[in-house]
């Protein structure tokens, strides 16, 4: 149950989650980029050890798997950080009756 509006006492209050949305999106993109970059270089090293045919395949597979893993980790971290920002910084409650933010 949401908390009542401190201005008018209404129970018609919605929670915005703006910090979580932005944090999740930024974390996903940043995690995918860093994961792809880091994993493609290690995939290239493993592919070079496998031979000339394994090089391009190793780079591609490493980049894709690294991007997926990085995006997942970045999204989780971004959601947690966004939750803290929502609770501590942003006025994320909106009263639907008097339109006040708190």
Instruction: Tell me the mean pLDDT per 10 residues along the chain, length 102.
Output: 84 88 95 84 62 62 84 95 88 88 82
Sign of CA dihedral 47, 48, 50, 56: positive
Q: What are phi and psi of 13, to 5 degrees?
A: -125, 135
Separation between Cα atoms, residue 63 and residue 87, nearest integer Å: 35
| pTM for this prediction | 0.68
Q: Is residue 28 part of a domain?
A: yes
| Domains in the chain, number | 1
Q: Is residue 8 part of a domain?
A: no
For 61, the domain range is: 17-91
Residue 75: the pLDDT is 96
Q: Is residue 39 part of a domain?
A: yes
Q: Is residue 102 part of a domain?
A: no
Q: Is residue 30 part of a domain?
A: yes
Q: Is residue 68 part of a domain?
A: yes
């Amino acid at each position: 149950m949401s908390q009542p509006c401190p201005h008018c006492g209404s129970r018609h209050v919605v929670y915005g989650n703006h910090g979580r949305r932005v944090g999740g999106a930024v974390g996903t993109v940043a995690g995918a980029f860093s994961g792809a970059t880091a994993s493609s270089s290690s995939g290239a090293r493993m592919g070079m050890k496998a031979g000339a045919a394994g090089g391009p395949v190793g780079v591609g597979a490493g980049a894709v798997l690294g991007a997926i893993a990085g995006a997942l980790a970045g999204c989780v971290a971004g959601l947690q950080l966004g939750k803290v920002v929502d609770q501590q910084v942003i006025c994320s409650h909106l009263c639907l009756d008097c339109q006040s933010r708190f």
